[in-house]
Structure 1
Amino acid sequence: MNELAAPRLHIAPMSATTIEKVRELELLVATLSQLSIPTDHAFHAGVYARTVMVPAGAVITGVLIKIPTLLIVNGDAVLHTERGPVEVHGYNVIPAAAGRKQALVAITDTHLTMIFATAARDIDAAEREFTDETDMLMSRKEA
């Protein structure tokens, strides 16, 4: 029966070339009008979760993630992966490797939640755990 099931999506580590493509997109997107996308943070039972809602039609890029996480995508979007663009629809829980820098185009309003186990007790420590690019995080720019 397993051969009939669709393979589960996972996000693999990205090559330096693929990460550079996301960085190039990031430079292009930075020349456009910027959205404010608030981040919701939650700590519970040794787990940290951060959630954003990306409005339909928006293009976002993320920081370089240095640890494995789960990524929950709820909506319709195109994700940039090592193997190229992947369209996702509905509710998806995606294992995502360390060594990735995501780009996403939201087709509909799309909620993204990144989750990982941590001993961090505050947002700053959790953010430093998953990236060395904390200065680029929207949550650092929120009032």
Structure 2
Amino acid sequence: MTGLALAESRLPAMSDDAIDKVRSLEAAMRGMPQVAPRTEHLIHGGMYARTIRIPAGAVLTGAFIKLATVLIVNGECTVFTGGDTLELRGYHVIPASAGRKQVFIAHVDTDLTMLFPSSAASVEQAEAEFTDEYPMLLSRQIAEQDSIIITGE
């Protein structure tokens, strides 16, 4: 695997083989101590924003994302993008294609915000829009620590 330059920062759709590799890693990590990041949800103006903080040293596998989103990264992390890795330091706004299941390795505390247009009226509806793996989302398993703002605008 090679690291991509920042000018090439994007999260492309991933091959079935690459997604299977992430699922294998995910299965192997299930027996290890888990990080349970707080999820901040915002539904406003026809948009859904989902923010988590990955603590330094943590490895996080994400759900399979079935639609195109914008991903905002603030921190320092390595992201598995399929055949390559993307090294991010600082603040980045990244186009992220549909059909991906990422692995993030946080080198420092790193914030991730995913945004997409949505007509959802609830977090559950928004989660079902972006992934079919919503039952395994930590926000479904540990919802009491989450922050939810739905403005109705």
**TM-score when scaled to structure 2?**
0.87
Deviation at 1:8, TM superposition (A): 3.9
What amino acid sits opposite 2:63 in the alignment? Answer: V
2:85 corresponds in structure 1 to: 85
Cα distance in 2 for residues equivalent to 1:59 and 1:8: 23
CA-based RMSD of the aligned residues comes to 1.0
**TM-score when scaled to structure 1?**
0.93
2:114 corresponds in structure 1 to: 114
What is the 5 A alignment of 1:59-138? 59-138=59-138
Identify unmatched segments of 5+ residues in structure 1: 1-5
State the secondary structure of the residue aligned to 2:49.
strand
Cα distance in 2 for residues equivalent to 1:102 and 1:41: 20
Deviations, residues 37-76 of structure 1 (Å, cap 9, x unaligned)? 1100001111100000000000000110000000111000
Deviation at 1:140, TM superposition (A): 0.2
Cα distance in 1 for residues equivalent to 2:20 and 2:83: 14
1:29 corresponds in structure 2 to: 29
State the secondary structure of the residue aligned to 1:66.
coil
Q: Give aligned pairs, total.
A: 138
Question: Which consecutive segments of 4 or more residues in structure 1 shift more than 6 A?
Answer: none
* Paired residues of 1:29 and 1:59 also in contact (CA < 8 A): no
Taking only the aligned residue pairs, the percentage that are identical comes to 46
* Paired residues of 2:71 and 2:113 also in contact (CA < 8 A): yes
Cα distance in 2 for residues equivalent to 1:44 and 1:117: 10
Cα distance in 1 for residues equivalent to 2:18 and 2:9: 18
Cα distance in 1 for residues equivalent to 2:89 and 2:131: 27
Deviation at 1:21, TM superposition (A): 0.6
Identify unmatched segments of 5+ residues in structure 2: 1-5, 145-153
1:3 corresponds in structure 2 to: none
Deviation at 1:83, TM superposition (A): 3.1
